[in-house]
């Protein structure tokens, strides 16, 4: 499922939204992964997957600048994030959105106030314009009628949708999602998958998604990389449907076909 926007972006001469080169991460003497290299193309939904403890969320945190890699470089929207400091780094970070696994909404603020917060913090727009834009973003994620609810009044799926609305408040070209389907029932998860695909297609947003949910991966991903804890790095990259059908790597085949490694 390569979207039209992704196909166009690959051929436009400036097709890379993020570039990871020979990146390693270590905690003390423990190497989480090393020599990780890949590109995220503009307009695609790119998924980082793998089993527990392989470093999926750690890699996402490196890409958004929360941690520094032990080795290698990460370039986001044309700028090496590790080379930026202070206001220069903050300017780059304002150009991409992030949705954390829990949603991370502020419990003392309404849904509308949560979505309006980036606009109030980082633009000089008047309050009426901020509210109007925040309501538009809520409409895009199907929460137009929930603007004045508090986070405690939302279902798990609504929290994730509100967090996505906040992540796209500043119209970023790139959005990172950490385990968006975690804790959701299959129907709610499928609705969230459809939302991600529609935002990528209709708004041209590039998504980097961390997940281990197979149904979601097959529904949303244009391309994936698969990390493995024992290999301490990437063991597969490509279209997940082709990996499911064609990969001969025992761990990759087992993941996509829900079998025991080496099994039928």
Q: Please report, rounded to a whole number, the percentage of residues in the chain having pLDDT higher than 90.
A: 79
Q: Count Cβ atoms within 10 A of the Cβ of residue 239 and give its class: 0-12 exposed, 13-18 middle, 19 or more buried.
A: middle
Asked if pLDDT for residue 196 goes beyond 70, the answer is yes
Contact assessment for residue 17 and residue 206, using Cβ atoms and an 8 Å cutoff:
yes
Domain ranges of the chain: 1-95+173-182+208-264
Q: Kindly state the tokens that stand for 52.
A: 């527990």
CA distance 33 to 255: 19
In this structure, what DSSP letter does residue 230 have?
T
In this structure, what DSSP letter does residue 84 have?
-
Give residue 12's pLDDT band: very low, low, confident or very high (50, 70, 90). Answer: very low
Higher pLDDT, 178 or 8: 178
**Strand 223-228 relative to strand 206-210, pairing:** unpaired
Axis crossing angle, helix 156-167 with helix 127-140, rounded to the nearest 10: 130
Three-state secondary-structure class, residue 204: coil
Q: Count Cβ atoms within 10 A of the Cβ of residue 11 and give its class: 0-12 exposed, 13-18 middle, 19 or more buried.
A: exposed
Options 3.40.50.300, 3.40.50.1980, 3.40.50.970, 2.70.70.10; which CATH number does 1-95+173-182+208-264 get?
3.40.50.300
* pLDDT at position 224: 97
Q: Which of 54, 53, 52 is nearest to 36 (CA)?
A: 54
Query: What size, in residues, is the chain?
Result: 264
Q: Render pLDDT for 134-193 as a digit per residue (tens, 0 to 9).
A: 999 999 999 999 999 999 999 999 999 999 999 999 999 999 999 998 888 999 999 999
């Amino acid at each position: 499922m390569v979207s039209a926007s992704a196909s166009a972006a690959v051929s436009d001469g400036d097709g890379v939204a993020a570039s990871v080169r020979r990146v390693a991460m270590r905690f003390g003497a423990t190497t989480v992964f090393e020599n990780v290299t890949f590109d995220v193309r503009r307009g695609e939904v790119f998924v980082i997957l793998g089993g527990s403890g392989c470093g999926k969320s750690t890699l996402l945190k490196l890409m958004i600048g929360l941690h520094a890699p032990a080795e290698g470089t990460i370039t986001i929207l044309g700028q090496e994030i590790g080379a930026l400091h202070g206001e220069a780094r903050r300017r780059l970070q304002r150009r991409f959105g992030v949705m954390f696994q829990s949603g991370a909404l502020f419990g003392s603020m309404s849904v509308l106030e949560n979505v309006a917060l980036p606009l109030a913090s980082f633009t000089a727009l008047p309050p009426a314009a901020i509210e109007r834009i925040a309501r538009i973003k809520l409409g895009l994620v199907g929460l137009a009628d929930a603007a004045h609810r508090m986070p405690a009044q939302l279902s798990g799926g609504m929290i994730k949708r509100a967090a996505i609305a906040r992540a796209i408040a500043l119209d970023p070209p790139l959005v990172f999602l950490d385990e968006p389907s975690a804790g959701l029932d299959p129907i709610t998860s499928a609705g969230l998958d459809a939302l991600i695909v529609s935002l990528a297609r209709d708004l041209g947003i590039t998504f980097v998604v961390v997940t281990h949910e197979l149904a979601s991966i097959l529904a949303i991903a244009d391309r994936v990389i698969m990390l493995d804890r024992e290999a301490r790095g990437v063991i597969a990259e490509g279209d997940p449907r082709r990996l499911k059908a064609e990969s001969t790597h025992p761990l990759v085949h087992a993941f996509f076909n829900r079998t025991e490694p080496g099994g039928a």
